[in-house]
Amino acid sequence: MLARAPPRPCSGAAVAGDVPSRRPWVPAGGLARGGGAGGVRLVAARPVVAAAAGERRMVSPETVAAAADSGMTTQLANGSSSAVAGISKFVTSTVGKSTNILWHDCPIGKSERQNLLNQKGCVVWITGLSGSGKSTLACALSRELHARGHLTYVLDGDNLRHGLNRDLSFKAEDRAENIRRVGEVAKLFADAGLICIASLISPYRSDRSACRSLLPKSSFIEVFLNAPLEVCEARDPKGLYKLARAGKIKGFTGIDDPYEPPSDCEIVITCKIGDCPSPKLMADQVVSYLEANGFLKD
């Protein structure tokens, strides 16, 4: 019968040939009572930063103990001392209701992704009344850029309310949260190097400005589809204006809820009664802006 192989030691345990640590590890402050086997709760080693090398790694308890024995210390940014030379603790943050969180950077960043895609990530934010042609422009722009070899993604307001934002109503506070979520998602797409096309009524100027502030100014391109209410109501592709006029929909933008037009947008596409540009012409106007401002590389 074959002899059984000895069990593998747990992470951090000594193996044959290793030099044993000079003393068993005891967490800072001693062993915590009241949890774990035998009423003792061991605290795992904390993640630390090797400052000199610029890389994150775990330092074993034995290393910390040995450093403490030898008196090695290093000064931290907050003025306290670390037990290991060249090593400092992670600094965590509180953002909103999220506590003890840490931003992790990766070696492949936005510039590397942009070079791979041969384009600059940005957000094209299309705003306007319901029926002004936002979704039509978004799809036409995506098609035109795709034909030129550029990667895009469309964030359509109605589509997002089928999933990500399905828990939100059309009340003012929910509309603000709707736009905030879309702005954060659009920011991620832009950081990935994509040309993100967001198509939403986004009626409030302050909400659009908040999304603009998430990105470098030049990377947020606001497109105002300036179509008068008469044109949008005549189109009424979803029959919503008729329902709003009949009082069956409350808080409908342009009827009993305001729309605040942009005051500093990058592109204005004007549609007049009997004179509206085609989807192709509208898309070409946005593409020309992207080309002129270096978002599309040859």
Instruction: For strands 152-156 and 40-41, give the pairing.
Output: unpaired
Beta strands in the chain, from DSSP E residues, in sequence order: 32-33, 40-41, 47-50, 55-58, 74-75, 81-82, 87-89, 93-95, 98-101, 122-127, 152-156, 195-199, 220-226, 267-270
Q: Which of 62, 34, 57 is nearest to 46 (CA)?
A: 57
Q: How far apart are CA 135 and CA 237, in angstroms?
A: 12
What single-letter amino acid sits at 121? G
What single-letter amino acid sits at 38? G
Q: How far apart are CA 82 and CA 7, in angstroms?
A: 35
Both tokens of residue 237?
Answer: 């592709």
Burial of 125 (0-12, 13-18, 19+ CB in 10 A): buried
Residues designated catalytic: 202
Q: How far apart are CA 210 and CA 129, in angstroms?
A: 19
Burial of 48 (0-12, 13-18, 19+ CB in 10 A): buried
Q: Which residues contact 34 (CB under 8 A, 6 or more apart)?
A: 41
